[in-house]
Structure 1
């Protein structure tokens, strides 16, 4: 394996390493633990190895991860803020006329068309911006992890080039993956709308109640299927970056790797999401409290009939602190689950393709002899072969 190559190129057999993966506790007749050139041992990973490897990657490569995330999300926020300011300056007259309408008056078609056009452009720009940012982040994290497993440094320029070269297939993979959740999401929306209609009309036994019941049944049927499919393809972004696969090939690759280990991957992924959610909330709390003080001082100085500009100035401190806290929280809650998913990808390849020796060779670890069970030679399809990395 070339030092600058991805994990999908080159063939490395396990012959020089005894034809078996590394792993196991020390003390087996002088045998040593598996090598650990990077953030994880080059052996089948336990839960502690996966979570510890994710935290270790953040600790060792925080400049690259947080720097790229802050640049991407901060740039997206700056772009959207500028776009909103430009749009407001372009349609401010139309907005003022619509806001100042008396009760019973109707807005002109010209004002409505201008506001709808500005809103549509902002919505499309926001969708495109978040798609690119999400695609880059889903490419950046595996690119960092690829070197973190081998214990090698990562340069910003190389990281950016690699992430940008994979952003299109990663975005395609994310779009296809998100389609699995569309039907349950639409059914949830239908249930919500039916519930609102039922409450407004007080028609608990009417059509709204029937629609709500059908929607709940639909969610119960399609929800588990969507979760099952999502776990089956959750390793696809890692397969795009690690192996250079296209979207549909990456989805098939993820399904192959997840096969036989669905519940374990589901449990670890769910746990990682919970950890990221709690940690993101805890990180955001200090910023929210910090923003309360300038907001309280500013609002206390307002007169009885403040203008919108005065209100915005008064609460600007709270808004800035909240946005900053949301940015920091978003960075962690986005990065940590992706690191866990990437390590699960590595774990599945170590378990099913005997990838440990190939990784050790790429990291420059000297060959070791065979190891005893339960980490020694195993029957097919887990033993032997020449894994592609």
Structure 2
């Protein structure tokens, strides 16, 4: 059985002659919409071969420079790999993944900006309205309370914070789903050097949104369940020893959650680009990440740090301006009394959040999609399929 799915662009469907659940490459098109030459079948894993060089007089063009041996980069006697889009078609370094994500944002800035700005504005308006009209008053905490009263107030404060953050978290989750789905389509096209409009990205991402939501909720429930198992024994004890057990269980649960999240980090692009089910996408992610967990963890951590830096650079000035403009917000910050925030604070801080989302959403989605492409190039020679899809000379047939 062939367990190595081919490159399936969003919107393509498995061939009727192939096994169910194994997506096959869709026929690439040129700029005029004409179908290119792409083999309807894919050889099993490990049987990839470079395109043959025809003898004199056959008239077929030779392979593009640097292909066949799948070079790692340029060097003495080694031409650079072909680059039809934002990345060279070979195994990528960390810098090339980040540069590819930024290059995709720049090359398709109209589509990317249209996606992120639209979703971010709608999400922030919803969050502002929820914060202004629906959230309950925060619990008051007496700094002089001790013993049982202090524990009760701390529990009330934690519960109030959880309730207050739940609507915003849910709205942000939905916004992230929309942007991730459509931006993954944009990135997959940019790898081949093709453009995609906002309407095209939406039409191709829309059929996968419910499955992507199911995948996200499943991963969130897994994380929540693991955290609950970690802290529940200590919470049941309730004494000083219980507090120590809660801390130990929490740390152990965090390690397990991080391990699982990295293991399944490629499930979303697999679901989008291979048209897989939720469970199959998770298995595909585990297979692609196997043996590269630490590398994936390092790249994801670096991406998170970059997005955190961007967030702080933008959020801090906007937060200060918002508190200055809103007198109630400034008094709340200085006195520590929770009196709520007014419209000026919510609007100005919301503008800052829109700017943050417009920058960080494409970066995160681009890194995830390119990590998926990179792992498939390393493990499944996807670069050869991408070369055929991009219409590079010499890759219209297999030897």
TM-score (norm 1): 0.70
Q: How far is the alpha carbon of 1:122 from its aligned partner?
A: 10
Q: How far is the alpha carbon of 1:251 from its aligned partner?
A: 0.3
Matched position secondary structure for 2:76? coil
- 1:57 and 2:104 are equivalent in the alignment: yes
- Give the aligned partner of residue 255 of structure 2: 224
- Give the aligned partner of residue 333 of structure 1: 360
**Contact 1:233-1:251 at 8 Å conserved across structures:** yes
Given candidates 261, 275, 287, the residue that maps to 2:292 is 261
- 1:21 and 2:70 are equivalent in the alignment: yes
- 1:39 and 2:86 are equivalent in the alignment: yes
- Give the aligned partner of residue 175 of structure 1: 217
Q: 1:124 to 1:185 in 2, by over 3 A?
A: closer
**Contact 1:191-1:216 at 8 Å conserved across structures:** no
Matched position secondary structure for 1:335? helix
Matched position secondary structure for 1:180? helix
- 1:342 and 2:391 are equivalent in the alignment: no
1:197-245 C-alpha deviation (Å, 9 max, x unpaired):
xxxxxxxxx9431211111221232222221111110000000111011
Q: How far is the alpha carbon of 1:323 from its aligned partner?
A: 1.1
Q: How far is the alpha carbon of 1:147 from its aligned partner?
A: 0.7
1:238-272 C-alpha deviation (Å, 9 max, x unpaired):
00111011111100000010011111011111111
Report the structure, 1 or 2, having the larger helix content.
1
Q: Distance in 2 between matches of 1:131 and 1:265?
A: 23
Q: Distance in 1 between matches of 2:168 and 2:251?
A: 32
Q: 1:329 to 1:83 in 2, by over 3 A?
A: closer
Q: 1:80 to 1:273 in 2, by over 3 A?
A: closer
Q: Distance in 2 between matches of 1:244 and 1:37?
A: 24
Matched position secondary structure for 1:181? helix
Residue pairs, 1:74-89, within 5 angstroms:
74-79=121-126, 81=128
Equivalent pairs, count: 316
Given candidates 300, 313, 318, the residue that maps to 1:287 is 318
Q: Distance in 2 between matches of 1:335 and 1:192?
A: 40
**Contact 1:138-1:170 at 8 Å conserved across structures:** no
TM-score (norm 2): 0.68
Q: Distance in 2 between matches of 1:76 and 1:298?
A: 22
Q: 1:127 to 1:298 in 2, by over 3 A?
A: closer
Return the structure number with greater relative CO, CA threshold 8 A, min gap 6: 1
Which 5+ residue runs of structure 1 have no aligned equivalent?
A: 96-120, 195-205, 301-307, 369-384
- Give the aligned partner of residue 249 of structure 1: 280
Q: How far is the alpha carbon of 1:75 from its aligned partner?
A: 1.5
Q: Distance in 2 between matches of 1:33 and 1:239?
A: 28
Given candidates 93, 117, 122, the residue that maps to 1:70 is 117
Q: 1:261 to 1:317 in 2, by over 3 A?
A: same
- Give the aligned partner of residue 208 of structure 2: 166
Q: Distance in 2 between matches of 1:264 and 1:298?
A: 43
Q: Distance in 1 between matches of 2:363 and 2:381?
A: 26
Q: How far is the alpha carbon of 1:44 from its aligned partner?
A: 0.4
Q: Distance in 2 between matches of 1:259 and 1:3?
A: 24
**Contact 2:128-2:350 at 8 Å conserved across structures:** no
Q: How far is the alpha carbon of 1:318 from its aligned partner?
A: 3.3
1:327-368 C-alpha deviation (Å, 9 max, x unpaired):
221343333222212111100100111111211121122238
- 1:367 and 2:394 are equivalent in the alignment: yes
Which 5+ residue runs of structure 2 have no aligned equivalent?
A: 1-6, 14-22, 26-40, 43-47, 52-62, 138-162, 332-338
Q: How far is the alpha carbon of 1:133 from its aligned partner?
A: 2.4
Whichever of the two has the greater Rg, that structure is 1
Q: Distance in 2 between matches of 1:344 and 1:213?
A: 39
